[in-house]
Amino acid sequence: MPFSDGLHLVVKKDCPTCTLIEPVIRDMAAIGESLYVYIQDDLSFLGDLPVTSDDRSLEQSFHLDIETVPTIIRMEDGIEIERVVGWSQEDWQTFTGIEDIGKTLPPFQPGCGALNVSPGAEEVLQAKFGQVPMKSRTIEVSGYDDEIEQMFDRGWSDGLPVVPPTPERVLRMLAGTKRDPQEIVGRIPPNLTECTIEKVAINAVMAGCKPEYMPVVLASIDAALDPLFTLHGLLCTTCFSGPIIIVNGPIAKKIGMNWGINALGQGNRANSTIGRALQLIVRNVGGGIPGEIDRATLGNPGKIGFCFAEDETDPTWQPLSEDRGFEKGSNTVTLFPGDGVHGFADNRSRTPEELTNSFAMGLQGCIHPKLAEWVFAVLVLSPEHYATYKDAGWTRKKITDEIVKAGIKPGKDLIRGAHGVGEGIDPSRADEMVPKFYEDGLMIVRAGGPAGLFSGFLTSWTGAQKKGACAPITREIKI
């Protein structure tokens, strides 16, 4: 925005320093100085002077990059030469060349915060008056239309209200990452549409994310697009499942995630919106719409979004991220293609051996008690159940190995037709001892409230029945 040569002064009535120097401003206007005064709030303040301009829109303040009022700037040939912030009689005298200017006033008084740097104003003004990095098409909604209803009507919602992705909200979200808004993160299935950082930010806004969640959302997309995660198959299946995000590392605490009471439930903004952002991206960018490419027979509530953090507060427990090959203290996401929570209760087992057999018995029901090597599973191990293992000195590896070992069953009990049940494994395996899961098919994550002998199982989709066809994926979160 071009500014004429001369002195440009920005003030507001709601500032004691600005009202203090009102006599100085009037004196400067009276002597014919090339003066331009911009009022940020109340035009009754200095509004009678011919040199004043209405800047309640804050456009001039934005372009002059004002942080404090009063601020006076000298322009020559359209270029800023110098500025003085606040009131200093000595500095103003030097700046203006007017001898004894404001001599009757206190020699110094700091200024006040300018309205254009009020919380939330920066992005609004940037979107309105500045250059913005977004290239997405703008949808105009009339003043009489309900924005949220419009987004329902346009099919952008997962069935719950979404936050309107206004330019200022998207700018705020983009501030959560240093990556270029036009960088392509990948092609989102099923339509394999290119997705930019900007598109991620738009859907993160709609999901209700904060900007500081962006690195987690971006890492989740990176993991979901790994071919071995088979996101396209997960979308098309008639099975229950969707992406489940498990977060490890200091970032979980930093952004306020829940790994304790009700960790898999509602009530935590980060848990609820990070998983939702991924699902909205799949829907709105990739075209993964229920009833169309998404053919789930029943689905599960977690397909709105399913995300939680692992409890790493106990130093005796090896976090999932380390178990999957990352350095201690790494920030990671692990994506698991899973369905809803299968509740498990054991209030009687007092030894690790008893609890292990109990877990193995419960896990046998994942997808079906007679189907083996068909799915992966996550055991969400609660603090009280973990205490039984901890007191006995069992490590993550020992717990996992022993549960897997306890889940090995005679093939004759699992084959089709056995025990009067048609479902089951191939009859040719009748003489084998058959494990419930393939190698590395069981992951354990520690989470949950301190009270209650309840843990949970998360079962994968049946694409896992072919060994090596799909797998959980872990990615580092890049801050």
CATH number assigned to the domain comprising residue 86: 3.40.30.10
CA distance 41 to 45: 9
Is the backbone of residue 447 left (phi > 0), alpha (psi -120 to 50) or beta?
A: beta
Q: Are residues 82 and 170 in the same domain?
A: no
Q: Count, in order, helices (H) and strands (E) of the chain.
A: 16, 20
CA proximity to 61, closest of 50, 72, 51: 72
Q: Are residues 103 and 197 in the same domain?
A: no
Sequence-separated (6 or more) residues with CB below 8 Å from residue 165: 202, 203, 205, 206
- Split at pLDDT 50, 70, 90, the class of 183 is very high
The residue range of the domain holding 205 is 148-476
Tokens 């939330």: give the residue. 120
User: What separation, in Å, do the N-terminal and C-terminal C-alpha atoms of the chain show?
Assistant: 35
CA distance 275 to 290: 17
Q: Are residues 37 and 174 in the same domain?
A: no
pLDDT: is 107 or 467 the higher one?
107
Q: Are residues 109 and 219 in the same domain?
A: no
pLDDT for residue 16 is more than 80: yes
Residue 136 lies in a domain: no
Residue 139 lies in a domain: no
Q: 363 near 457, Cβ under 8 Å?
A: yes
* Residue range 421-473, pLDDT digits in tens: 999 999 999 999 999 999 899 999 999 999 999 999 999 999 999 989 999 99
Q: Are residues 349 and 429 in the same domain?
A: yes
Sequence-separated (6 or more) residues with CB below 8 Å from residue 42: 12, 13, 14
Q: Are residues 94 and 184 in the same domain?
A: no
The DSSP string of 111-173 is: -EE-GGGSTTHHHHHHHHHS-----SPP----TTS-HHHHHHHTT--SSS------HHHHHHH
Kindly report the number of other CB atoms within 10 A of residue 436's CB atom: 26
CA proximity to 310, closest of 267, 370, 260, 376: 260
Q: Are residues 98 and 41 in the same domain?
A: yes
The DSSP string of 38-101 is: EESS-TTSSTTSTTEEE-TT-HHHHHTT--EESEEEEEETTEEEEEEESEEHHHHHHHH--TTT
Question: Which ranges of 136-268 would DSSP assign to H, the alpha helix?
Answer: 147-153, 167-174, 197-207, 214-224, 231-236, 250-254
Give the predicted TM-score (pTM) of the model. 0.90
Residue 256 lies in a domain: yes
Q: 456 near 313, Cβ under 8 Å?
A: no
Q: 460 near 241, Cβ under 8 Å?
A: yes
Residue 95 lies in a domain: yes
Domain boundary among 68, 101, 129: 129
Q: Are residues 369 and 470 in the same domain?
A: yes
The DSSP code for 318 is P
CA proximity to 5, closest of 87, 66, 77: 77
Half-sphere exposure for 163 (CA within 13 Å, toward CB): 20
Residue 137 lies in a domain: no
Residue 25 three-state SS:
helix
CA distances (Å), origin 120, targets 12, 169, 198: 19, 9, 19
Residue 1 lies in a domain: no
Domain boundary among 129, 163, 180: 129
pLDDT of residue 250: 98
* Residue range 409-427, pLDDT digits in tens: 999 999 999 999 999 999 9
Kindly report the number of other CB atoms within 10 A of residue 266's CB atom: 9
Q: Are residues 106 and 209 in the same domain?
A: no
CA distance 464 to 375: 5
Q: 199 near 181, Cβ under 8 Å?
A: no
Residue 135 lies in a domain: no
pLDDT for residue 33 is more than 80: no
CA distance 46 to 52: 7
Give the range among 30-34, 291-295, 468-472 with minimum mean pLDDT. 30-34
* Residue range 225-269, pLDDT digits in tens: 999 999 999 999 999 999 999 999 999 999 999 999 999 999 999
Domain boundary among 94, 129, 164: 129
pLDDT of residue 46: 96
CA proximity to 283, closest of 359, 202, 383, 377: 202
* Residue range 65-95, pLDDT digits in tens: 999 999 999 999 999 999 999 999 999 999 9
Residue 75 lies in a domain: yes
CA proximity to 57, closest of 97, 118, 137, 115: 115
Q: Are residues 180 and 58 in the same domain?
A: no
Q: 112 near 17, Cβ under 8 Å?
A: yes
Sequence-separated (6 or more) residues with CB below 8 Å from residue 248: 309, 310, 312, 319, 320, 321, 326, 330, 331, 332, 333, 334
Altogether, the residues listed in the chain come to a count of 479
Q: Are residues 275 and 324 in the same domain?
A: yes
Q: Are residues 219 and 275 in the same domain?
A: yes
| Rounded percentage of the chain residues whose pLDDT exceeds 90 | 95
Number of independent structural domains in the chain: 2
